[in-house]
């Protein structure tokens, strides 16, 4: 009996893989210098520093990574502080599910009015108080902790995203931030541009090899335009 080689056509259903990409990471380990691309805005002399002054902050700047962190301290220099620490522009045009994560510690003292800590997000390249507030605290201290905030509603598929860490206070202790990361999931189009290829019996050809074997192969290759 002739042995027939049957070529089975398998349709592979490859599930979409959804691993998060790191769009920004900053651990402030630059010997006390500001990180490249970040900017500082302050109307007052006191601003964000990148300190390693562990004794002032109770041993260890934070429980974040390394020796350095971003620190703003309304008692250290005295007076009113309204200081912004702003990330570089982050291109999220191809991303969804965008998460900002950071480690921080906030010591509350006597915040009044609109004093406190803020995180703003801008999708227009310029951060100011009209932009979206994704975190605010002004009435309780925050022990060293890692915080995650989903900023997808603003950042999804936007090409110019910036975050602003704002501390507004007057003789109210400090805020420390470390290990800032922004991650996103690569966005796949919901309407694929390439259509599936139809295959009919005429696409195949059978060829006998020797006395027993028949090989079935592709007869032609579609070159349809999509
Ligand atoms: Ca650090
Ligand atoms: Ca105050
Ligand atoms: Ca803005």
Instruction: Specify the DSSP element, H or E, that contains 153.
Output: helix 152-155
Residues in the chain: 226
φ/ψ of 84, rounded to 5, equals -115, 135
Residues of the chain with CATH 2.60.120.200: 21-186
CA distance 25 to 181: 4
Identify the nearest ligand to the CA of 75 by its number.
2
C-alpha 117 to ligand 1 mean position (Å): 19
pLDDT, one tens digit per residue, over 73-122 is: 888 766 789 999 999 999 999 999 999 999 999 999 889 999 999 999 99
> Count of alpha carbons within 13 Å of 178, Cβ hemisphere only?
25
C-alpha 133 to ligand 2 mean position (Å): 21
C-alpha 125 to ligand 3 mean position (Å): 6
Identify the nearest ligand to the CA of 124 by its number.
3
Instruction: Give Cα 53 to chain centroid, integer Å.
Output: 29
C-alpha 97 to ligand 1 mean position (Å): 25
C-alpha 6 to ligand 1 mean position (Å): 61
Instruction: Give Cα 185 to chain centroid, integer Å.
Output: 9
pLDDT, one tens digit per residue, over 21-66 is: 999 999 999 999 999 999 998 777 678 999 876 666 665 556 688 8
C-alpha 132 to ligand 3 mean position (Å): 8
C-alpha 109 to ligand 2 mean position (Å): 7
C-alpha 213 to ligand 2 mean position (Å): 89
pLDDT at 98: 98
Output the pTM of the full model: 0.75
Identify the nearest ligand to the CA of 164 by its number.
3
Q: If you search the block for the tokens 């902050």, which residue do you land on?
A: 57
pLDDT, one tens digit per residue, over 106-118 is: 999 889 999 999 9
Q: Which CATH class is domain 21-186?
A: mainly beta
Is residue 133 predicted with pLDDT exceeding 80? yes
């Amino acid at each position: 009996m002739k042995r027939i080689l049957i070529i089975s056509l398998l349709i592979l259903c490859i599930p979409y893989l959804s691993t998060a990409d790191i769009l920004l990471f900053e651990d402030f380990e630059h010997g006390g210098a500001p990180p490249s691309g970040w900017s500082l805005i302050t109307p007052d002399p006191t601003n964000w520093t990148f300190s390693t002054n562990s004794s002032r902050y109770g041993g260890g700047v934070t429980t974040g990574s390394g020796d350095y962190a971003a620190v703003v301290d309304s008692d250290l220099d005295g007076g009113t502080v309204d200081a912004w620490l702003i990330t570089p522009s982050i291109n999220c045009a191809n991303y969804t599910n965008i998460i900002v994560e950071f480690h921080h510690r906030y010591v509350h003292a006597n915040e009044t009015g609109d004093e406190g800590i803020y995180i703003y997000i801008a999708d227009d390249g310029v951060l100011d108080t009209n932009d979206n507030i994704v975190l605010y605290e002004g009435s309780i201290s925050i022990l060293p902790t890692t915080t995650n905030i989903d900023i997808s509603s603003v950042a999804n598929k936007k090409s110019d995203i910036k975050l602003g860490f704002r501390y507004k206070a007057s003789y109210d202790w400090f805020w420390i931030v470390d290990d800032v990361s922004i991650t996103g999931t690569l966005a796949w189009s919901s309407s694929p541009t390439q259509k599936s290829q139809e295959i009919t019996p005429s696409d195949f050809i059978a060829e006998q090899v020797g006395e027993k074997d028949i090989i079935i192969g592709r007869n032609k290759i579609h070159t349809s335009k999509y």
